[in-house]
Amino acid sequence: MIIIALVSPTGGAGRTSLASAAATQLSMLGRPVTLIQADPVNNIEFQLGFSESSPRGLGHVLLQGDSLDSVLKPISTGFQLLPFGRITVAQQLGIDRILMEQPDRLVKLLQQDQFSDNSVVIVDLPRWPSPWCHAVMALSDLNLVTLIPDSGAILGIDGLLPHLLESRGASYFLMNRFDSSKVLHLDLWTLCKMKLSHRLLPFYLHEDQALAESIAAGTPLAEYAPRSQLVDDQQKLCNWIDSEIG
């Protein structure tokens, strides 16, 4: 099993849209893929075209012992989704405590039969830092950190980088919502390159209004605007991921 963690040091960096695109593209490449929503915000189903979020999911598996079969959802584009489910603040605090005090619970979950030995598990994590980030990055084979060309996001690298270096898997950074015609974006790209060297991927995801339109329409971007620049960018990234994980 290959575990890919999607994380970012700031909100609005496009983790969830990238997670759904990566799950779709990698499944099209013949990989058995499970997409796990580990973010309590739990909005990934809207990006996949569902009209509402699932009431039960990953949170209830960890907290209440729900079976995986009862919460896993097959997606028409070829992968399976484990949504987070709707939980209260008190339940979220209980899940955080489990992750910090009983990290083996997550290990045992991923060892269940619903995850095949040759599967790819993509985990959409909450904004760093969180107990979910620490727990998943201790198990992941590849950490993909999404950045946006914003000074706050770039400053957040400094706090995250030491933890990535201690992580089990390889870590790379990806610039999202990038516009090469903007001087500020180019300046921040240069700064990231100085900070991260080879860990900054040499390509980026363009800023594309079609993404917001596709979410509003409840249609995956690849269906809403199949010829958009962002879809091409996502395909290039997924080809790189497919090669990286072997």
Query: Do residues 82 and 36 touch, judged by C-beta distance below 8 A?
Result: yes
Q: What is the average pLDDT score of the chain?
A: 91
Confidence of residue 115 (pLDDT cuts 50, 70, 90): confident
Q: What is the DSSP string of 21-32?
A: HHHHHHHHTT--
**pLDDT per residue as tens digits for the range 157-202:** 888 888 888 888 899 999 999 998 999 999 999 999 998 999 999 9
Query: Can you tell me the distance from the alpha carbon of 54 to that of 82, in angstroms, rounded to the nearest whole number?
Result: 10
Confidence of residue 223 (pLDDT cuts 50, 70, 90): confident
Confidence of residue 43 (pLDDT cuts 50, 70, 90): confident
**pLDDT per residue as tens digits for the range 5-18:** 999 988 888 899 89
Closest CA to 196 of 138, 124, 145: 145
